[in-house]
Amino acid sequence: MSPKSKQQNELIKVGRKHEISATALKLFAENGFQHTTISAIAKEAGIAKGLLYNYYDSKEALIKEIIISELHQFTNLFDSNNDGILTAEEFEFFIKNTIATLKKNPEHWKLYFAAFLQKDVLQILRHELEAKLMPQYLILIDYYRRKGETNPEAAALLLTATLDGISLNYIHAPDAYPLEALGELILQKFK
């Protein structure tokens, strides 16, 4: 008799939205952005096409929201509450942790990288990303300075680039890639 309560509706909406984005994410990872249609997403999510537009204004908006939300999660990985001084021990932990994270969900990382190459998406998040990553970067520079590196900035950038490159290569052929061995080697060369 009576309509659904506001809380009920809110629950439904949040659930649906998450359902849609999860489905879309899955299909993007499976088939790529280009070949993932709204129809396919709706079908896979078990809803009518039209409903999707109750939650996202357009396909473009859907893709962007998903990527942005993924990148948000990504940037949160780098939130640290340490004292600003990186010890050799912490360095080792950082590297191993990065590798473990990578191993846990390669598909997500593929999306991150795809996102990095989407000009407009990146634009939106650039400031946020920089704000998140800058402290880490500064700590790394300090680490290398204390170690007596001639060009600590370059050293920090090199480590970052190496980790990016490993990630990129790993997500392409997760099964065959010797992540751990590379982790060891990084510690040898970069610690």
The residue ranges that bind DNA (CB under 7 A) are 1-4, 6, 8-9, 12-13, 16, 35-39, 47-51, 53-54, 57-60
Of positions 104, 120, 127, 175, contacts a copy of itself by CB under 8 A:
120
Residue 74 C-alpha from the chain's centroid: 4
**Is residue 109 helix, strand or coil?**
helix
Could you tell me the two tokens for 108? 């997500």
Of positions 49, 100, 113, 146, contacts a copy of itself by CB under 8 A:
113
44-82 burial, b at 16+ Cβ within 10 Å, e below that, comes to: bbebeeeebeebbeebeebbbbbbbebbeebbeeeeeee
Question: Least separation, in Å, of the C-beta of 24 and DNA?
Answer: 10
Helices H, strands E: what count in the chain? 9, 0
Question: Least separation, in Å, of the C-beta of 20 and a copy of itself?
Answer: 18
Chain positions 16 to 75 lying near a copy of itself, rule: CB under 8 A, are 30-35, 48
Q: Which stretch binds a copy of itself (CB under 8 A): 11-19, 79-87, 91-99, 179-187?
A: 179-187
CA–CA–CA angle 74, 79, 85 (5° rounding) = 135
Q: On the CB side of 160, how many CA atoms lie within 13 Å of its CA?
A: 16
Question: Least separation, in Å, of the C-beta of 9 and DNA?
Answer: 4
Question: Least separation, in Å, of the C-beta of 145 and a copy of itself?
Answer: 14
Interface map 128-157 toward a copy of itself (x if CB under 8 A): -----------------------x-xxx-x
Is there a contact between 82 and 150 (Cβ–Cβ < 8 Å)? no
Is there a contact between 41 and 29 (Cβ–Cβ < 8 Å)? no
Alpha carbon distance 39, 89 (integer Å): 50
Residues binding a copy of itself (CB under 8 A)? 3, 30-35, 48, 110, 113-114, 116-120, 122, 151, 153-155, 157-158, 160-166, 168-169, 172, 177-178, 181-182, 184-186, 189-190
